[in-house]
Amino acid sequence: MALRRQQRACLLRADRVAYELELLPERAAWARRRLAALPTLTAALCPHGEPPPPWLNGFANAARDELVRSGSTAQARLHARRAALLAEAAALEQLLAGTM
């Protein structure tokens, strides 16, 4: 029953993607809050146009990287992946129903 195994695998992967998708909005919000705080931090740490401390670049880069990993584009891709997995599982179910 290779088709049945494949169908179950698709459903399991779709569940995993759904779980991952639940986590992304909170992570994206965290990144947006960090980026929103950046001007205030820069103003407080560099009041006279001094160069920012090295850790501040890491702070900003970490937020930007997280936004790429969990922002709207990443969420849209996961939605599409989940829809594709569910469609494959449904197509396999139709095949199995027709052959049994």
Q: Is pLDDT of 30 > 60?
A: yes
pLDDT tens-digit series, residues 33-92: 999 999 999 999 998 889 999 999 999 999 999 999 999 999 999 999 999 999 999 999
pTM of the model: 0.81
The pLDDT of residue 100 is 54
Long-range pairs for 81-84: beta carbons < 8 A, 24 or more residues apart: 81/17, 82/14, 82/17, 82/18, 82/21
The pLDDT of residue 1 is 87
